[in-house]
């Protein structure tokens, strides 16, 4: 079995797989370049494609003896216009344009819009954005079968382009029939995270949670303005969130997205939910071997804000330089994290602990680590909740998570600063301390003479029982033992 030292950086890198990165050699290159987790985009590819990619990742996991995280991203209720008789029309500002439920191919005066839910929600004055916001229509009149609009921003419109409705909450189910099939398939595969697209309200998470049956973790993608209004409620019910800046930037003015990104990241951190910043981070690297300076700054900003993970989309799924994109993101993150003032900026967001023993000990672990100059925090966990709490505090030392459960170890691949290891459970305090020492040494997170902080729960093997914190001194001769 090959072995690699733990990542030097704390923020995780989530890499999307696709046509440019669906063979075992390329997936290995992405991992070695810095990818910590892999995204299967259910909007593209077949179930066979995704099953093959998952098999490649699990084989790599076995090869390196490292838990690897897999996220299945559901497509969600994507709204689209129908087709045109000549495939393409040009709409001019000021003209009338009708959207209706007639299946006849469209022309420059009308086109099919087959989504009945939109007709029910619209009213005069509502905006409709077409083709990622390139065209803007304003509703004049609407009934059950016809939406009459005036074109405010014109341009070319071709078949099956997307429709965004930013001004109202649409009565859409969060899961389409395709999503339900994809989710069932993802659960059969054993993915670690499921990302739910176009979340508008906390209730949207309920059906996905039920269909997951207690397996995997659920991530809410924040890409609708309506979700911002109920962000704290969504965070209460989700296991994590993604700042999906693509659609968020379509439905809102572009200048509104950066402050919202900071708001979402800060809110997620306060509530101890892993948060991923996604979309167009190194977009130019789809076709170029280096990014723009603005893109570098964008990635750096997400790292300074304390995001748990930063994501590559088309850069690794369909780009010409997938390995280079991961290596570039890794280099940016490591440079930021080792730069002056990083930890000060990271703690601009205050993360007050809840009134629980586990939260109190997680907060204390960070404080004790600084006071005694400990080199690592070692957490024994079954569910990962203790590790999530410690990660929320953004300590300056690595977090070594020890768990007997493979699914828990894999899920923690999106937690900031965590190096997860699957290992046998412990049965006594002495065994706990001994194993913590050995594993810190074995994984090169500390050396003989160093101190580590150990967190665990007594009685051992009971989820959610964190109630022990211990400072351990390491000796260099403690590596013996089967863990």
The length of the chain in residues reads: 483
Instruction: Indicate the burial class of 182 (C-beta count within 10 angstroms; 0-12, 13-18, 19 or more).
Output: buried
Question: Collapsing DSSP states into helix, strand and coil, what is residue 271?
Answer: coil
Give pLDDT, residue 235.
Answer: 97
Q: Which residues are catalytic?
A: 39, 80, 221, 279
Any alpha helices (H) in 144-203, and if so which ranges?
177-189
pLDDT in tens, 328-386: 999 999 999 999 999 889 888 888 878 888 889 999 999 999 999 999 999 999 999 99
Give pLDDT, residue 480.
Answer: 62
- Are residues 394 and 416 in contact, defined by beta-carbon separation less than 8 angstroms? yes
Predicted TM-score (pTM) of the model is: 0.92
- Are residues 204 and 228 in contact, defined by beta-carbon separation less than 8 angstroms? no
Give pLDDT, residue 459.
Answer: 75
Give pLDDT, residue 323.
Answer: 98
Give pLDDT, residue 274.
Answer: 98
Give pLDDT, residue 97.
Answer: 98
Cα pseudo-dihedral 12, 17, 23, 28, rounded to 10? 0
Give pLDDT, residue 464.
Answer: 66
pLDDT in tens, 239-271: 999 999 988 988 888 899 999 999 999 999 999
In sequence order, the β-bridge partners of residue 112 are 100
Q: Average per-residue pLDDT in the chain?
A: 94
Q: Choose among 390, 374, 368, 387: nearest CA to 446.
A: 374
CA distance 28 to 108: 49
Give pLDDT, residue 355.
Answer: 81
Cα 115–234–456 angle (5° rounding)? 140
pLDDT in tens, 165-223: 988 888 888 899 999 999 999 999 999 999 999 999 999 999 999 999 999 999 999 99
Give pLDDT, residue 481.
Answer: 58
Instruction: Find the farthest-apart pair of alpha carbons in the chain and give their distance in angstroms, rounded.
Output: 80
pLDDT in tens, 82-104: 999 999 999 999 999 999 999 99
* Helix (H) or strand (E) run with residue 137 in it: strand 135-142
Domains (ranges, CATH) in the chain? 12-76+174-345 (3.20.20.60), 88-164 (2.40.33.10), 357-473 (3.40.1380.20)
The DSSP bridge pattern shows strands 466-473 and 451-457 to be antiparallel
């Amino acid at each position: 079995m090959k072995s690699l030292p733990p990542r030097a950086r704390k923020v995780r890198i989530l890499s999307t797989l696709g046509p440019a990165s669906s063979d075992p050699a390329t997936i290995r290159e992405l991992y070695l370049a810095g990818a910590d987790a892999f995204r299967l985009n259910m909007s593209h590819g077949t179930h066979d494609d995704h099953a093959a990619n998952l098999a490649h990742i699990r084989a790599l996991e076995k090869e390196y003896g490292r838990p690897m995280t897999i996220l299945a991203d559901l497509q969600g209720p994507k709204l689209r216009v129908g087709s045109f008789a000549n495939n393409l029309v040009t709409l001019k500002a000021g003209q009338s344009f009708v959207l209706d439920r007639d299946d006849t191919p469209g022309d420059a005066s009308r086109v099919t819009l087959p989504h009945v839910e939109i007709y029910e929600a619209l009213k005069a004055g509502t905006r409709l954005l077409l083709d990622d916001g390139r065209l803007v229509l304003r509703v004049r009149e609407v009934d059950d079968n016809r939406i009459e609009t005036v074109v405010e921003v014109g341009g070319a419109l071709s078949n099956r382009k997307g429709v965004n409705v930013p001004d109202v909450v649409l009565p859409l189910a969060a899961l389409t029939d395709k999503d339900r099939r994809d989710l069932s398939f993802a659960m059969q595969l054993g993915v670690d995270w499921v990302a739910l697209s176009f979340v508008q309200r906390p209730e949207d998470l309920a059906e996905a949670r039920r269909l997951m049956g207690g397996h995997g973790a659920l991530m809410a993608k924040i890409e609708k303005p309506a979700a911002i209004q109920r962000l704290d409620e969504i965070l209460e019910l989700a296991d994590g969130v993604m700042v999906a800046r693509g659609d968020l930037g379509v439905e809102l003015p572009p200048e509104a997205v950066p402050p919202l990104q900071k708001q979402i990241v800060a809110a997620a951190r306060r509530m101890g939910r892993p948060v991923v910043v996604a979309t167009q981070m190194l977009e130019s690297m789809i076709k170029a071997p280096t990014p723009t300076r603005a893109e570098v700054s964008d990635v750096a900003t997400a790292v300074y804000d304390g995001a748990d993970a930063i994501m590559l989309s088309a850069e690794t799924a369909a780009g010409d330089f997938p390995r280079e994109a991961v290596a570039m993101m890794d280099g940016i993150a490591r440079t930021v994290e080792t730069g002056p003032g990083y930890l000060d900026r990271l703690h601009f967001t205050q993360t007050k602990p809840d009134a629980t023993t586990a939260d109190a000990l997680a907060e204390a672990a960070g404080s004790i680590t600084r006071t005694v100059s400990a080199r690592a925090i070692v957490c024994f966990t079954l569910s990962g909740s203790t590790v999530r709490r410690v990660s929320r505090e953004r300590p300056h030392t690595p977090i070594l998570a020890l768990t007997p459960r493979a699914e828990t170890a894999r899920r923690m691949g999106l937690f900031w600063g965590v190096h997860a290891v699957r290992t046998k459970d412990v049965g006594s305090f002495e065994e706990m301390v001994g194993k913590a020492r050995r594993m810190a040494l074995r994984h090169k997170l500390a050396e003989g003479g160093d101190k580590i902080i150990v967190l665990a729960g007594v009685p051992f093997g009971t989820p959610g029982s964190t109630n022990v914190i211990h400072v351990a001194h390491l000796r260099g001769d403690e590596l013996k033992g089967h863990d």
